[in-house]
Structure 1
Amino acid sequence: MNIHRKLMTGAAALALGLGVGFSPALADNIVFWINSPLASSPDAPIYAELKAFEAETGHTVELQPVAHMEMERNLTVAMSGGAGPDVMALDIAWVAGLANAGLLMDLTEQTAPLAEGYQKGPLASGRFEQRQYALPLYTNNVALFVNNKMLADAGIDKAPTNWEEFREAAIAMTNAEKGTYGLTFGGSRTGAFQLYSFIWQNGGEVIDDEGKVRVGEPESVEAVEFLSSLYTEHKAMPDSVLTANSWDEVNAPFIQERAGMLVSGDWAIAALKNGNPNLDWSVHPLPVGKQAATVIGGYNLAVNANTSVGDASWQLVEWLTGPRSVELMGKYNRLSAAAGAAAPEAIAALPEEIKPFMEQADAGRARPVVAEWSQIHSEVFGTVWDSVLRGQPVADVMSKADAQTKSIMGQ
């Protein structure tokens, strides 16, 4: 059930009621849908932040938390009917589809003077067909989690920093008699999400900035061959890689100390701490191939194209995603996408397990922001990963995927 909570400070209410300080004609109520983890309790940091916004602007905010699995569907249904919230939090993968459907307000003119205030990768995730439709509320990326004891027992004294060291560590920690493996990885779409960083690290592309499909190029094929061979050739991944379609399933071998490495985001931290409090682990930037790259995730804020309170809604988006987001997201142990969050002093203030994610933030890459991306990810790349793990020739699979992607894109 969605929770409805109207936030209004006493000072703002008095000012609005008496016409002192703020003009009632200029004060609006903004309905705001947010992903529910950010509003999980009455004392969640977002509530205090919205009270500060109300006190500053005179607007009021009606906050409605929505579960991640329900958000995209609920938004599409409501907004297609001309309803829905004024401001909404969007997984970055949803922006292109909603913008293409004409459901999001074009924020290009408002955001242009502010662009330097955001990290490039997260900012790009809110852009569709060279127009800006969303700004980043927070960002994340994937890094390398390492079981320190398993690595040391394998005779390796530091976490891998490049692909060759990564391969060697994965093989060294694999022991069939003990039932241990070097790396736990996802299957289907989850594995595909983990795969994108390696394609980019090898100089490959999926769909480039000009919209050209490049799935079948040698650099992309080589990256898939490198990663899939850790299972097909070296048996350095458990068989769960064939069926692990949730992060809980991906995390399990690492938590159980059966796998020495895990490629995941900051969302894994709580799962590891809760699943095995005695686990000795650390986080490191992804091992680098030809270049550094890491796939980013996170949530953006956008405005409903049908809102009747557009100016107030834009003010809320600017407020929550601007410099104040560094402190706000810090209260959640999440990464702000503001440029200032990547400053050395800001990184130094982060918890140790969070620092590596921000240290590699400059290498963050958004998945292709095209309207067809959800279909491509699910129907093409989920199948690619499953097919190569089951022994199909990588070059053949990628050639077929290239043709499928071009067909979906109308190329």
Structure 2
Amino acid sequence: MKMRRMRGLIAATLLAGLSAPALADNIVMWVNGPLASSPDAPIYAELKAFEAATGHTVEVQAVPHMEMERNLFVALSSGAGPDVMALDIAWVAGLADAGLLADITAQTAPIAAEYQPGPLASGRYDQKQYALPLYTNNVALFVNDRMLAEAGIKKAPSNWAEFRDAAVAMTNKDKQTYGVSFGGNRMGAFQLYSFIWQNGGEIVDEAGKVRVGEPAAEEAVDFLAKLYTQSRAMPDSVLTAGNWDEVHAPFIQERAGMVVTGDWALAAFTKGNPNLKFSVHPLPAGVKSATVIGGYDLAIKAGSKVEKPAFELLRWLTGSRSIALMQKYERLSATAAATSPEAIAALPKQLQPFMAQASSGRARPVVAQWTQIHSDVFANVWDAVIRGKPAKDAMAEANTAITGLLEKK
């Protein structure tokens, strides 16, 4: 009897198909809190489908965004931590540089064309691929439709000249209204990166050369800073706005007619001012179009004992199924297929401009020192120029400082 049962099990396994693994593995996965905010969050149904298709199991642990990077460094450095982890794209370089992520270059090469170039590049460090993009976002131009019309402007700005003119036109000293809300310090630095690329400038190019001291980068910073220092088209909160709530506040209060921000602002605007009439548009272009991307990637722990099934999980969550999965979260899939006209048309109207400009998305330089470059260099540059320091001087000093940081590696 025992022999017959064994033969029956073998036959059933063969009939089940070759997709079922000989041995099932358990994959421990850390995700950012919002993806697993409740037992019925979409990620859980997707993981059940993965388990049913592969036989593997996935143990999910939700970690708050603000705690994720620190917790990963501590856990992975001690040999513990998850097999698969969701990473803010800004963390990839630091973890890879520390030797904490598995190199997935060989596995990724045959499927690279399935992803949007910008998000895929966010997972690449030192010419090696360490992560695949789970979802992406970028920054666009939000416009108060009423304020724009009252300023006598018929359409949202599509280039720098129109952007400047609209900002000036919506600025009224007596009414205390302004053209555009911008952040200070690190927030303003994040907002200006797109403009540097739009002007043909670079921050750190693919060869590792620091180029922020070049005229194209300097001119972009000067253009934005003068909207405050000369045109007074930004509220004085630009000097102190240190988080998105503070950047968004003048727009929500209808004191600023435009703001450069991402899809994460949609819920904040609806909640903060249900009567706010606004529209979303691709960023006004300079000599070319560009928008800084954000989002989360998926990576595998270096030395994971379940690396092969872990990569299966990466492919499952970031591949073609991600379009439907991310729509459930009202986020943007990083697949190339998600940029098709049909896929864009299926998105909520206010998300469509973000995906329409996805081909212009640029990842911030994937260098291990990026957090320090952003927080200690560019944040200080922006604070200096909006307080009157010539952009040429500030960017020359930044070029020297960034070069020094990269040489310390």
What's the TM-score once normalised by structure 2's chain length? Answer: 0.95
Matches within 5 A, 1:196-215: 196-215=193-212
Match of 1:238 among 223, 235, 240: 235
Matches within 5 A, 1:1-16: none
Determine if the alignment matches structure 1 residue 37 to structure 2 residue 34: yes
Match of 1:335 among 332, 336, 342: 332
Match of 2:285 among 283, 288, 291: 288
Partner secondary structure for residue 90 of structure 2? helix
Match of 2:308 among 306, 311, 317: 311
Please provide the CA RMSD for this pair.
1.4
8 Å Cα contact 1:90-1:299 kept in structure 2: yes
Tell me the amino acid that sits aligned with residue 264 of structure 2.
W
1:101 matched to which residue of 2?
Answer: 98
Deviations 1:251-291 (A, max 9, x none): 00000000000100000000000000000000000000000
Aligned residues: 396
Determine if the alignment matches structure 1 residue 47 to structure 2 residue 41: no
Partner secondary structure for residue 260 of structure 1? strand
Partner secondary structure for residue 142 of structure 1? strand
1:113 matched to which residue of 2?
Answer: 110
Distance in 2, Cα, partners of 1:36 & 1:54? 21
2:75 matched to which residue of 1?
Answer: 78
Tell me the amino acid that sits aligned with residue 193 of structure 1.
F
Distance in 2, Cα, partners of 1:378 & 1:26? 46
8 Å Cα contact 1:160-1:169 kept in structure 2: yes
| Structure 1 residue 51 displacement after superposition | 0.2
Match of 2:218 among 206, 215, 221: 221
1:252 matched to which residue of 2?
Answer: 249
1:9 matched to which residue of 2?
Answer: none
What's the TM-score once normalised by structure 1's chain length? Answer: 0.94
Deviations 1:200-239 (A, max 9, x none): 0000000001110001000000000000000000110011
- Structure 1 residues 394 and 23: alpha-carbon distance in aligned structure 2, compared to 1, 3 A threshold: closer
Distance in 1, Cα, partners of 2:388 & 2:29? 47
8 Å Cα contact 2:228-2:386 kept in structure 1: yes
Stretches of structure 1 lacking an aligned partner (at least 5 in a row):
1-14
1:5 matched to which residue of 2?
Answer: none
Match of 1:165 among 140, 162, 166: 162
Partner secondary structure for residue 149 of structure 1? helix
Deviations 1:120-141 (A, max 9, x none): 0000000001110000000000
| Structure 1 residue 188 displacement after superposition | 0.5
Partner secondary structure for residue 59 of structure 2? strand
Distance in 1, Cα, partners of 2:273 & 2:291? 26
Match of 1:399 among 376, 383, 396: 396
Distance in 2, Cα, partners of 1:243 & 1:306? 44
Match of 1:349 among 346, 351, 365: 346
Match of 1:147 among 144, 161, 174: 144
Matches within 5 A, 1:184-199: 184-199=181-196
1:11 matched to which residue of 2?
Answer: none
Distance in 1, Cα, partners of 2:337 & 2:201? 30
2:368 matched to which residue of 1?
Answer: 371
Match of 1:322 among 319, 322, 327: 319
Distance in 2, Cα, partners of 1:235 & 1:23? 64
Distance in 2, Cα, partners of 1:187 & 1:341? 33
8 Å Cα contact 2:21-2:54 kept in structure 1: no
8 Å Cα contact 2:20-2:53 kept in structure 1: no
- Structure 1 residues 328 and 24: alpha-carbon distance in aligned structure 2, compared to 1, 3 A threshold: closer
Deviations 1:7-58 (A, max 9, x none): xxxxxxxx99x97858785210000000111111111110000000000000
Partner secondary structure for residue 405 of structure 1? helix
1:58 matched to which residue of 2?
Answer: 55
Q: Which has the larger radius of gyration?
A: 2
Partner secondary structure for residue 85 of structure 2? strand
Match of 1:262 among 259, 271, 274: 259
| Structure 1 residue 307 displacement after superposition | 1.2
8 Å Cα contact 1:142-1:263 kept in structure 2: yes
Tell me the amino acid that sits aligned with residue 388 of structure 2.
G
| Structure 1 residue 306 displacement after superposition | 2.6
Partner secondary structure for residue 353 of structure 1? helix
Tell me the amino acid that sits aligned with residue 75 of structure 2.
A
Tell me the amino acid that sits aligned with residue 156 of structure 1.
I
Match of 2:153 among 145, 152, 156: 156
Partner secondary structure for residue 179 of structure 2? coil
1:26 matched to which residue of 2?
Answer: 23
8 Å Cα contact 1:83-1:306 kept in structure 2: no
Deviations 1:42-92 (A, max 9, x none): 111100000000000000000111111000000000000011000000000
Distance in 1, Cα, partners of 2:224 & 2:31? 36
Distance in 2, Cα, partners of 1:33 & 1:19? 31
Distance in 2, Cα, partners of 1:293 & 1:23? 44
Give every structure 1 segment of 4 or more consecutive aligned residues whose post-TM-superposition deviation is greater than 3 Å. Answer: 18-25
Stretches of structure 2 lacking an aligned partner (at least 5 in a row):
1-8
| Structure 1 residue 242 displacement after superposition | 0.8
Identity of aligned residues (%): 68
